[in-house]
Structure 1
Amino acid sequence: MNEPLVTIICLCYNHAKFLQEALDSVLAQTYSNLEVIVVDDASSDASAQVISEYVRRHPHIQFIQHHKNRGNCASFNEAFGQSRGEYIIDFATDDVLYPERVKEQVCAFQTLPQDYGVVYTDADLINEKSIFLRHFYQRSASGELVPEPAEGEVFAHVLSRYFICPPTMMIRRQVLEELNGYDLALAYEDFDFWVRSSRSWRYHYLDKVLCKRRVHIASLSQQVYKKGDRQLQSTIQVIQKAQKLVRTSVEKLALVKRVKYEARHAYFTSNYPEALQLLEILEEETSADAESRVMRWLAKKRVPLQFLRRWYHGWRYRHTSA
């Protein structure tokens, strides 16, 4: 049986110090039928030089070099537009793949019905020095995974909670074609992709650790709730899209849960206009409860209670920064 072509789209922005480990992990894949496309999005460090040396030594690597920063969504779409793979991996070049990554996920896809569009897995979280921090999914004493992965139709799940480690996903090409790739109007892609794709496609969780996700201060995931960050406004746009996609009472409850969560975090990071915008969406979906009314008053008055969030996160995440 012929192996389907898999495209690994490697997105780089100022990853020079991580590139060797990342690209070596791509080249070390045990799966042979690979297409590798690397995009450098106008890095200001030595990333382009490092990539150029890899291309010189490995001519099969396709290299797209930007001279003006275009962002992750545009960079991915450009590479996807020239890709040929039946399956796609969106790979940030500060992360690392284990050698069996592609092979294991292709094997999983080949056992699934055609309406499965995404296979995702567990991951090791590492720091800037590649030191292991913990697994993405933690296991309870009884062996249950936390957060709990979801299978099949996951639309309500992706609305209400965060349970997918983004770099672990392998995506069926048809999914991205139907979505016309990532939304260029957004500052980040994960939440929007999950919402739009899961409305029509099913997801499969493969309980294996197949990549390393790097957690560091410059990663987008660490910047979502900075004051004035574009990502928060993008989250609001995705929620507005989700409003039009909700079909059931369960999905509506999931949406309400998400909006409450985002409003709370918007407020506690001093993003008062965004908090009020989210609370307006909440009122469109359900009657305001006491918490929402209090938060609206606090946001309108711009009462600063950010120290509570800083204290909580300092206590909650202290162990992951060691």
Structure 2
Amino acid sequence: MTPLVTIVALCYNHGRFLRPALDSILAQTYPRLEVFLVDDGSTDNSVAVLREYAAAHPEWKTVFLPENIGNCAAFNRAFFQSQGEFLIDFATDDILLPERVARQVARFQELDASYGMLYGNVALHTEGGEFQRLFHAPGPTGALQPAPASGWVFEDVLRRFFISAPSMMMRRATLEQLNGYDETLAYEDFDFWVRASRNWQFSYQDEILTEKRLHPRSMSAQGYRPGDPLVASTIRICHKAAALCRTAPERQALAERVRWELRQAARWGNLPEARDLYALLRELGGAGLIEHGIGAYLKVMR
């Protein structure tokens, strides 16, 4: 039987992008879709547009939240009602290309049940919709950068950023094992990758099936700026990752990630967060001369 796929279309003030995003769901060639339209307390015209599409497509389900509760909690409101064997967390400022669902389901059906998530390449566009670059692009040697990884990728996930979240399709059993997203966090992807890759394999699909918009109001564009709400969540995820590490190479990989996060925090003047990261780095045994210098600086700045 053709698997049911759930698309959770998550919106927060995406009014100007909503129609092309929702039209891209309608353009899917895959025959069995369950669609949830979730509005996370938008203050623009998003709800009106969502209601228009819901009225035109009564089989679509809606979750209209009266106030903003964040991506993780908003996604879970739909996830725990959904039935799909596979799920897509779809931000409604992006675009799904017509074969997206069909190609990803076909790929999942080639994999065994130990694979919990697959991801692919993404075309990155400007706010106005003009193509800018590919997320995975050939480097000087022709190899893709950042280098994709498949299989048991827990150590890779700790060390580096190589997955474009908008390209993901997740197995329901994986999300159920994790009890959905962690609602105490300000964002979902890094935590999902860490927790899921501990017990499930990931697969890279070398296809471009998604278009992502790059715009200054996105959360990723605010990274490490003063007041960035994501930094505290990143630190919590790093602590969670440390508890999941089983080997010295895994701890070393996490130390590389924490070292990078520490330098960003110090660079942008997030001193309490930098101190937390420095303490974790020392626990991991990864504090070198440069990091000890940062540690001395943090002491002086108390």
Q: Can you list the C-alpha shifts for 1:86-113, whole angstroms capped at 9, x where unaligned? A: 0000000000000000000000000001
**2:138 paired residue number:** 139
SS at match of 2:123: strand
> Following TM superposition, by how much is the alpha carbon of 1:302 offset from its aligned partner in structure 2, in angstroms?
4.0
Q: Is contact 1:272-1:300 (8 Å) kept?
A: no
> Following TM superposition, by how much is the alpha carbon of 1:224 offset from its aligned partner in structure 2, in angstroms?
2.4
Please tell me whether residue 46 in structure 1 is matched to residue 21 in structure 2: no
**2:258 paired residue number:** 259
> Following TM superposition, by how much is the alpha carbon of 1:60 offset from its aligned partner in structure 2, in angstroms?
1.4
TM-score when normalising by structure 2: 0.98
Question: Identity of counterpart residues, as a percentage?
Answer: 49
> Following TM superposition, by how much is the alpha carbon of 1:71 offset from its aligned partner in structure 2, in angstroms?
0.8
Q: Is contact 2:119-2:167 (8 Å) kept?
A: yes
Gaps of 5+ in 1: 304-322
Structure 2 CA distance, aligned partners of 1:287 and 1:107? 42
**1:150 paired residue number:** 149
TM-score when normalising by structure 1: 0.92
Structure 1 stretch 139-148 or stretch 99-108: which is displaced more?
A: 139-148
SS at match of 2:281: helix
Structure 1 CA distance, aligned partners of 2:286 and 2:65? 48
Counterpart residue type for residue 153 of structure 1:
W
Q: Can you list the C-alpha shifts for 1:3-48, whole angstroms capped at 9, x where unaligned? A: 1000000000000000001000011000010000010111000000
Q: Can you list the C-alpha shifts for 1:175-214, whole angstroms capped at 9, x where unaligned? A: 0000000001100011100000000000000000000011
SS at match of 1:225: coil
Q: Report matched runs for 1:212-291 at 5 Å.
A: 212-286=211-285, 288-291=287-290
Counterpart residue type for residue 226 of structure 2:
K
Please tell me whether residue 91 in structure 1 is matched to residue 104 in structure 2: no
> Following TM superposition, by how much is the alpha carbon of 1:230 offset from its aligned partner in structure 2, in angstroms?
2.1
SS at match of 1:212: strand
**1:114 paired residue number:** 113
Q: Is contact 2:255-2:286 (8 Å) kept?
A: no
Q: Is contact 1:88-1:170 (8 Å) kept?
A: yes
Structure 2 CA distance, aligned partners of 1:288 and 1:43? 43
Q: Can you list the C-alpha shifts for 1:238-273, whole angstroms capped at 9, x where unaligned? A: 010111110112211101101100100001111011
Q: Is contact 1:16-1:47 (8 Å) kept?
A: yes
Structure 1 stretch 134-143 or stretch 95-104: which is displaced more?
A: 134-143
Q: Is contact 1:122-1:165 (8 Å) kept?
A: yes
Structure 1 CA distance, aligned partners of 2:175 and 2:222? 26
